[in-house]
Amino acid sequence: MTSIADLTNVDIDRVEEAIADGAALPPEWYQDEAIFEFERERIFKRSWQYAGRADLVAQPGDFFRLTVAGVPLVIVRDEEGELRGFVNVCRHRACEVVQDDSGSARFLRCPYHAWTYGLDGQLKAAPKQRHQENFDPGAISLAPIGVGQLGPLLFVNPDSTGPELSDYLGILPALWERAGLDASGLEFRRRVSYDVAANWKVLVENFVECYHCAVVHEELSAALDLKRFRVECEGNVIHEVAPTDRRYAGYDDSADVVDGTYDYLFPSFISNIFPGRGNAFARNLIPIDPQRTRVTYDLYCVPDASPAEEEEAFRFADRVFREDMPLVESVQRGLNSGRSDRCHLFLTDELGPQYFQQLVWSALADDR
């Protein structure tokens, strides 16, 4: 069995100790194709990740498909109203069963040889099956995956044997409630995607610290009381406590959310809840290759949020991200330079990146 020690030139026995001392992960871990594929196997195929909007599967028969770490998946609402998820691969010749991005259907039929599955994933019929000896459709079904819901958000885990979503989320739902947000009352408003020329870990490390905020984000820094900014880490969650500066021109102590909350769920989900009317940005990091990441932003708002309030929330989030984008791409070029082997974190201000790197290390070193 391949291990992380087989894929790197660093002294693997020193990595965990080096991280604890504040050293950054080895630069090649942000560039190497073999390590990228190892991350997909050890991290992304074993973890809960944001899948999309629950309203896409509101009614029995509704479905949508997605891909996680190269694995085609489909989420569907069955006849009994139960939410289900499957590997979207036919058990006959491995064709993708569901070909449309979303829709509604009474069954799932493979377009190659018309093997037909129920909404529960069970094979119902295959052409000419009566001519096959000992063929039992009842013994064949689409491979299940983990699927769960948090308010209007859906999450999937390609590993159906992993922990329950509620256990994996840990403190995240409580953090949303503490911010004053009723997640069940949110509705989807819009999606935007960005392609970034940087490894997915570079983007996470940028998000889970505000050491750079005063340098890079003028408007964000004006809104936050950076003297009271702190980071809390627990389980799979990194929580950034960012109280609103009461002197900020936009401060309103009667708002749905007075102090925003900025949270990261390992490995690829980021939520931003900004002060003001109830809102949540669900940000998903989708690794494309070792040096490219697609970032999707889904904006959810309370139903009575006005178009102007929606637009302001989006404008604010978009500005912050666009200020970060050239910098994380510059970091990637620096990592590629071959002259970045002595990077060191300031643990008074970069506890978030350190904790994240420990999560990465633990997942890659897991020899299950």
pLDDT in tens, 213-227: 999 999 999 999 999
- Residue of higher predicted confidence among 367 and 114: 114
- Residue of higher predicted confidence among 198 and 368: 198
- What does the pLDDT average to over 314-325? 94
Say whether pLDDT at 342 is over 80: no
CB 281 within 8 A of CB 207: no
Percent pLDDT > 90 in the chain is 78
pLDDT, tens only, 30-69:
999 999 999 999 999 999 999 999 999 999 999 999 999 9
The pLDDT value given to residue 368: 64
* Residue bearing tokens 């409580």: 174
Residue 331's CB is within 10 A of a number of other CB atoms, namely 19
pLDDT, averaged across the chain: 94
Distance CA 233, CA 148 (A): 23
Tell me phi and psi for residue 34, to 5 degrees.
-65, -40
SS (H, E, C) 119-178: CCCEEEECCCHHHCCCCCHHHCECCECEEEEECCEEEEECCCCCCCHHHHHCCHHHHHHH
Residue closest to 356 by CA, chosen among 184, 224, 199, 220: 199
- Residue of higher predicted confidence among 156 and 9: 156
CB 265 within 8 A of CB 237: yes
pLDDT, tens only, 79-98:
999 999 999 999 999 999 99
The pLDDT value given to residue 152: 96
Percent pLDDT > 70 in the chain is 99
- What does the pLDDT average to over 128-153? 93
Q: Which residues pair with 289 in a beta bridge?
A: 292
Distance CA 38, CA 194 (A): 24
The pLDDT value given to residue 181: 87
The pLDDT value given to residue 130: 85
Q: Three-class SS of residue 335? A: helix
Domains and CATH numbers, the chain: 49-157 (2.102.10.10), 170-365 (3.90.380.10)
Tell me phi and psi for residue 181, to 5 degrees.
-105, 125
Tokens standing for 168? 């994996």
pLDDT, tens only, 160-190:
999 999 999 999 999 999 888 889 999 999 9
Q: Three-class SS of residue 354? A: helix
Q: Three-class SS of residue 270? A: strand
The pLDDT value given to residue 215: 96
- What does the pLDDT average to over 238-257? 86
The DSSP element (H or E) to which 310 belongs, if any, is: helix 307-336
Give the total residue count for the chain. Answer: 368
Say whether pLDDT at 302 is over 80: yes
CB 44 within 8 A of CB 268: yes
- What does the pLDDT average to over 138-143? 95
Query: What pLDDT band is residue 258 in, cutting at 50, 70 and 90?
Result: confident
Query: What pLDDT band is residue 278 in, cutting at 50, 70 and 90?
Result: confident
Query: What pLDDT band is residue 132 in, cutting at 50, 70 and 90?
Result: confident
The pLDDT value given to residue 6: 84
- What does the pLDDT average to over 250-266? 88
* Residue bearing tokens 């991005």: 101
- What does the pLDDT average to over 321-332? 97
Query: What pLDDT band is residue 5 in, cutting at 50, 70 and 90?
Result: confident
**Residue 150 CA to its chain's centroid (Å):** 13
Cα three-residue angle 265-307-244, rounded to 5 degrees: 50
pTM of the model: 0.95
